[in-house]
Structures are given as structure tokens and as C-alpha cells.
Amino acid sequence: MSIYKAVKPLTLGSGSPRRKDLLQSAGLVFEIKPATCEEPTPTPGQDPEDYAIKMAELKAINVAENNPGTYVLGSDTIVVRDRDILGKPVNREEAYEMVKSLCGRKHKVISGCALISPEGEKQSYAVSTEVEFIDFNEAAVRAYAATGEPDDKAGAYAIQGQGAFLVKGISGSYTNVVGLPLARVIESLMDWGVVVAGEG
């Protein structure tokens, strides 16, 4: 018996295997249609939460335009050091530098989420989690960068993978750091009647 069930058509506007796994862990059945739009870089001084929400909305709108008749969930997760938004590293050296810059300090992981109905109604929000890294030495960080795991990750680490060794503690949603604030997403889907609880 599943914990939740999608009773209306639902489409995940992302190709992220982590987001797919999180939604499936709740028992949901849905389509996957990755967004095909360009992802603009943040403008100088742009609020990180505002950027994450706008990116999620951009992806959700892109998918909704090409897939009528379904509720579309778009999401974008960013890593923020102070006010700097860290994207995906372009190579292993940048991955090392990125992870090293997070060691021994706290940073934020912010996921923007956007839900669009078949009628064009929109609900969007951001969820923030604070993460603290242990201050690991250069050799350990270089070894992690060399695994290749950071290559396609914002902030150059995966808390659900080998990157867990870096994490001293978190404050907030763990699944948000993985890539989707599952509890908040389920709540919004239930609010709209897309998902119900306790169905077989």
C-alpha cells in the first residue's frame, strides 16, 4: 500500500533522477518531461530565493506549454555561500575549489518549486536548508572531487552519496538538500487535490 497516490495527471518537469526517486518513494506515479528551456544565470545582487523560484517557474511553464492537461511540477535547487550562488562545476579543479570553499562553514541549499495546473493556475515557493561542513583537509577534498560525483551537482557535492562525509549537520529538510523538499511538495499537491493519502 502506498502512502500517497496521484489522482490527477502529474508531470515532473525535471530529468533529475534524485527528484524522480523522491517522488516515487512517496508512492506517486507520474510522467517525466524534462524542461528544454535555457537556464539564465543569476543577475548581480539577485536574491537567491527569488532566483530559485524564477528558475522553477521557467521550467514548469516550459513543460506545461508542451504538455496540456496535466499538473506540472518544476524545481530548481541552488547552493548559496554567503550571497553567492554556486552552480555546477565545469571541471574537477573547480569542483575541488567549490567544495573546499564550503569546508568548515555553513551554507544554504535552496529549492524553488513551481506547480502549474492544466488551467494555468500557479503556486510557487522556496525551501531553504542550512548545511554545515566539517573542515576537511585538501587531500580528502581532492579525492572526493576526483570521484566524479560532484560533476553535475550544484555546489559540487551530493549529500545522499559519498559527499555525506563532508556534512557535520543540517538544519531543515534533508530531502531539500538532495534536490526536492518532499514534505512541502506533497503538501502543495494535496492542497490542489492532485494527491491523496492512504490509497492503495
What is the domain count for the chain? 1
pLDDT tens for 40-61 read: 888 888 899 999 999 999 999 9
Rounded to two decimals, the pTM is 0.93
pLDDT tens for 90-120 read: 999 999 999 999 999 999 999 999 999 999 9
**Dihedral in degrees, nearest 10, Cα atoms 141, 14, 80, 92:** 30
Nine cell digits for residue 91: 571541471
Indicate which residues carry an active-site annotation: 76
CATH number at residue 117: 3.90.950.10
Q: List the domain range (segments joined by +) for residue 108.
A: 4-197
Nearest to 139 by CA among 169, 168, 99, 107: 99
